[in-house]
A = this chain, B = another copy of it.
Amino acid sequence: MDDAPAYSPTPRTRATRNRDRVRYDAATVHAILDEGRLCHLGFVADGAPVVLPTLYARVGGVLYLHGSTGAAAMRAARDGGLEVCATVTLTDGLVLARSGMHHSVNYRSVVVRGTARRVSDEAEQRSALDAIVDAVVPGRSADCRPADAKELAQTAVLRLELREVSAKVRTGGVNEEPEDLDLPHWAGVVPVTETIGAPEPDAAMAPGTPLPGYLRTFTGASD
């Protein structure tokens, strides 16, 4: 699935505005999903929309979602599947134009729509949970205690196929009305990035416990 050249637009994912920002190619979609860590998972409960921040991982053409989305949603996902929309957004910059209306944000987002189903196979559940831990910090799942049977029974994982998918990407500088270019206002882009800080060891750890290699890489630590 990683070699899939592109997702096919559907009536629901076809862009109605800013068409030049929309992408369906798998490379763009997968890169955004792999850089993100939390999605905002939307579903309908008692007829009304609900959106909850949810950890996830992409494995090939599947999104696995951590099932902390409430009992009713989990029952629906187990029984017949739960209609969801999972959206991942990365912010790259604030675009300050000379006109208020052309202010914008440089961002990369992916919207995945479809039916999420609760994973019932234990091996798939285990590998999905490992993938979610590795999506938080690459390499971490091999350096912690795996779930035991009781923990597995308490934890739901949802599986959402990447079929109806679109990405939206805004990059670059300001867009202005030509007649605004001479206005005296400062214009340009303010970059926004996520910064990973220095790891804060748990007080119960033995003093001097070294930082594992995957965490040194992830945090850019020198010790």
Tell me how many residues of A have a C-beta within 8 Å of chain B.
91
Q: In the bound complex, what is the Cα–Cα distance between A45 and B218 (angstroms)?
A: 40
Is B137 a contact of A190 with CB atoms below 8 Å? yes
Nearest neighbor of A126 in chain B, beta-carbon distance = B100
The oligomer's copy count stands at: 2
A85's contact among B51, B151, B189, by CB below 8 Å, is which?
B51
- Would A218 and B190 be within 8 Å (CB), given that A17-B68, A136-B103, A202-B173 are in contact? yes
- Would A199 and B189 be within 8 Å (CB), given that A99-B144, A100-B130, A145-B98 are in contact? yes
Is B99 a contact of A147 with CB atoms below 8 Å? yes
Q: In the bound complex, what is the Cα–Cα distance between A165 and B17 (angstroms)?
A: 31
Q: Which residues from B are CB-within-8-Å of A12?
A: 45-46, 48
- Would A181 and B200 be within 8 Å (CB), given that A50-B42, A147-B99 are in contact? no
Q: Which residues from B are CB-within-8-Å of A209?
A: 186
